[in-house]
Structures are given as C-alpha cells and as structure tokens.
Amino acid sequence: MSHALANSHGVADLLTAEAQRMPSDFLSDPRPLSGVAARAWRRAPEMHEVAESLRASGLPPQMAEASAAVMRRWEKDKDQYDPPLATVLTHLRDGFHAH
C-alpha cells in the first residue's frame, strides 16, 4: 500500500530510498515495541489521515484504518517507554481503551 500511494503521488523513489535506510533486523527484536506503544497515541490520528489519502487516491483504506485501531489500543501506554514487553503485548491483545 505504501508503494502504491507513493507512486500515485510521484514519490515512489523517495519511499524506496527511505526504506533502504531502515534497519534490516527490525522484526527480529521485539523489545522496541515498548517505545512503539509509548508513541502510538501520535500515530492513530496520522493513520486516519493516511486512510483518507488512500481513499482519495482510489486505494483501499482498510489497512490504515486497522492500524489506527491497533494504535488506539496503546493509549494508556502514552509516553511510558519502559513497561515490560509482556504488558505492552497484553494491552495490544486485550484492546483496552482509555475511554
């Protein structure tokens, strides 16, 4: 989806260059998930914007909408960078909400 959206906006080369700079072992170590959870509160609204961009480009928005829903599950982890991995995973699995 990222490449399709980037292509529709004429920035596919920029996306590819950025992806090449990413660490290759990102998925091999789950410990950074605590940091992801701590910042997720910022990402949920951005994912809604991505969904709108996808929709406007004639692409399916469901992946971005689902990402926003996942990010909302970590609302109570806002700015908490040191919770145990088990806690972060439990919050994701249980889907508790701050509302």
pLDDT of residue 59: 95
Residue range of the domain that includes 93: 30-99
Torsion of CA 45, 50, 52, 56, to 10 degrees: 170
Which of these, 40, 30, 39, 43, lies nearest to 89 by C-alpha position? 30
Q: Is residue 68, in this structure, part of any structural domain at all?
A: yes
Give, in order, the Cα–Cα distances in Å from 41 to each of 1, 29, 35, 46.
Answer: 22, 22, 11, 10
Judge whether residue 96 has pLDDT over 90.
Answer: no
State pLDDT tens for residues 10-67. 998 898 888 888 776 666 677 788 888 899 888 999 999 999 999 999 999 999 999 9
Is 23 within the bounds of a domain? no
What's this model's pTM, rounded to 2 decimal places? Answer: 0.70
**pLDDT score recorded for residue 31:** 75
Residue 71 has pLDDT above 80, yes or no: yes
**Considering the domain boundaries, does residue 8 fall inside one?**
no
Single-letter residue type at 24: S
Give the chain's domain count: 1
